[in-house]
Structure 1
Amino acid sequence: MTPTIFTIGYEGAAQENVIGRLKAAGVATVVDVRAVAASRRAGFSKTILGNSLAAAGMAYVHLRDLGTPKAGRDAARKGRVSEMREIFSNHLQEPAAQFQLQQLKALATDRPTALLCFEAEACACHRAVLAERLASDDGFRIVNL
């Protein structure tokens, strides 16, 4: 069976809607791939989000080394998506990122897993680079929620 990696962004969404979409898709583990797991948007900071996901029956894992470095976040904020993708692709070569990428592969192979970040559209987010890497290297099917 082909493993699936889900991706979801919470930009403009309420926490309950995001959790509802994750549950409807059958996600068991949410992997937060933000370098900084804090948010001004209610319900999306690390502790609150983790507790809410647990209450909904899902595991929460924060893999901060799979987050975009500050330069990549700055590029994304300015709409320079290709620059952000290049910065993040280079970051993925770092040992800490490689280690957490292996952790992600193990989690996603074992149970339905979603990558969570801010941007509503996966194509404007580094989570697309991660999902594409899992698809090309390990045969994962990508589903953007």
Structure 2
Amino acid sequence: MTDAASLSTIGFTQTSAEGFFGRLKAAGVRSVIDVRLHNTSQLAGFAKSDDLSYFLKAIGGMSYRHEPLLAPTDAILKAFKKDKGDWRVFETSFLALMAERCVEDRLKPGLFDGSCLLCSEATPHNCHRRLVCEYLNGKWGGALKVRHL
């Protein structure tokens, strides 16, 4: 295997804009890949898609891209968030969705080098961004060197 692609992940809740952008800059992130299904909610504050794209470029010279291919469906989200579902059910459903979408064939490890997956959850433990990393690393033989900011 060649050098692994360096990929970070970050959530924007429970942090200030200063802390959020500071962590991205300190980690040397060059691009943010937004893996939220809905990225325009007024509740997202500084992480609303158009604002985030502007702030990333102005503050850190970083690019922004929305990648809904790596987001759960509305039905999977609703069952977990609104209906207070079980994490294991969410995890099983989301992993099956990524397999069905063949994300490992539609994306390549190099796309992720120097990038950071963005979602709303403060920590990666019960967040689909961690599942994306683990799924792709399993399919790509550890091609991603992941760190959670």
Q: Percent same amino acid at aligned positions?
A: 31
Secondary structure of residue in 2 paired with 1:142: strand
Is 1:84 matched with 2:90? yes
Q: Are the equivalent residues in 1 in contact too, given 2:5–2:110 (CA < 8 A)?
A: no
Q: Deviations over 1:111-145 (max 9, x none)?
A: 31110000111111111111112322332122011
Q: Are the equivalent residues in 1 in contact too, given 2:95–2:135 (CA < 8 A)?
A: no
Q: Are the equivalent residues in 2 in contact too, given 1:8–1:117 (CA < 8 A)?
A: yes
Q: What residue ranges of structure 1 are gaps of 5+ in the alignment?
A: none
Give the number of the structure whose alpha-carbon radius of gyration is greater: 2
Could you state the TM-score of these two structures normalised by the residue count of structure 1?
A: 0.86
Could you state the TM-score of these two structures normalised by the residue count of structure 2?
A: 0.84
Q: Deviations over 1:81-103 (max 9, x none)?
A: 111111111211344x6278515
Structure 1 segment 1-145 matched on structure 2, within 5 A = 1-39=3-41, 40-55=43-58, 56-77=60-81, 78=84, 80-95=86-101, 98=103, 102=107, 105-108=109-112, 111-138=113-140, 139=142, 140-145=144-149
Q: Tell me the matched-pair count.
A: 141
Q: Deviations over 1:41-71 (max 9, x none)?
A: 3111110001111112101010012111123
Q: Are the equivalent residues in 2 in contact too, given 1:8–1:116 (CA < 8 A)?
A: yes
Distance in 1 (alpha carbons) for counterparts of 2:28 and 2:117: 13
Q: Are the equivalent residues in 2 in contact too, given 1:5–1:115 (CA < 8 A)?
A: yes
Q: Are the equivalent residues in 2 in contact too, given 1:66–1:100 (CA < 8 A)?
A: no
Secondary structure of residue in 2 paired with 1:68: coil
